[in-house]
A = this chain, B = another copy of it.
Amino acid sequence: MRAAEQRAKGAQAHVDGRRVRGDQSRRAVLEVAMDLASLEGLEGLSIGRLAAAVGASKSGVGALFGSKEALQLSTVAAARELFTRRVIDASRGAPRGLRRLCTLVKLWFDYSKGRAFPGGCFFQSTAVEFDARPGAVRDALAQALDDWDDYLTQSVQMAIDSGELPGLDDARQLAFEIDAVFNESNNRSLLTGSDAPYERALAAIEARLAGLGADREILVLLA
């Protein structure tokens, strides 16, 4: 019993107990921080304006995270959670294989087109910003991108394994190409203010999958 209590409150628990109030504040701040960062970048995100936007004091927000870098890292973690919920978790309802892959593609378009972040895909904006800035933030973003690439590759691989993409043998190659048109459509749409790039990206993926022998009855899940 004593051991169980010890485990239950180890390292995290007693801190979380005290931080219930603070965690709500942090969550509220991070909600705004994600939006601001997608619009102006993680470096352009300033503690002062963030505090003003959330109706708190600058020193209060600063103390909640300790440093700007810690705030940036927390913002990245929060964005990962949102992306995972909206895209990855939401795709788990579909049956494994090509159906789930097509569902994943559609969910990504919904995520980007629906502006889950007002400045477009959070990771596209911030990864490009930090790709030449060594540090913990860059590492966290690179890890997020890597994990996403792995997940996308794995989703393609499951479609291969179930024989639904007979023309394909390199899952990571297709994942690369899908992610490429994802990001291109995201960027072009933001810059031109049009949804047309998304149609181009969808057409590219649809044609590519059809060329690999995918069942056309399943590809309708993309639209």
Chain B residue with the shortest CB-CB distance to A125? B128
Give complex CA distance A192, B144 in Å: 12
Chain B residues positioned under 8 Å from A203 (CB to CB): 173
Q: Are B204 and A177 in contact (CB under 8 A)?
A: yes
Closest residue of B by beta carbon distance from A127: B191
Say whether, besides A173-B200, A173-B203, A204-B173, A184 and B180 are in contact (CB < 8 Å). yes
Rounded to whole angstroms, the CA-CA distance of A190 and B146 in the bound complex is 13
Q: How many copies does the complex hold?
A: 2
Are A39 and B118 neighbours in the complex by a CB distance under 8 Å? no
19 more A-B residue pairs beyond the given contacts A131-B187, A180-B184, with a C-beta to C-beta distance below 8 A? A40-B133, A41-B41, A41-B43, A43-B44, A119-B131, A119-B132, A127-B187, A128-B187, A131-B190, A131-B191, A132-B190, A142-B191, A173-B200, A173-B203, A173-B204, A176-B188, A176-B200, A180-B183, A183-B183
Q: Is the interface of A mostly helix, strand, loop or mixed?
A: helix
Assembly CA distance A184 to B38 (angstroms): 19
Residues of B within 8 A of A125 (CB): 128
A120 CB within 8 Å of chain B: yes
Chain A interface (Cβ < 8 Å from any Cβ of B): 38-41, 43-44, 118-120, 124-125, 127-129, 131-133, 138, 141-142, 145-146, 172-173, 176-177, 179-181, 183-185, 187-188, 190-192, 197, 200-201, 203-204, 211
- Asked whether A141 lies within 8 Å of B191 as measured between CB atoms, the reply is yes
User: Within the complex, what minimum Cβ distance (angstroms) separates A179 from chain B?
Assistant: 6
Q: Which residues of B contact A129 (CB under 8 A)?
A: 41, 128-129
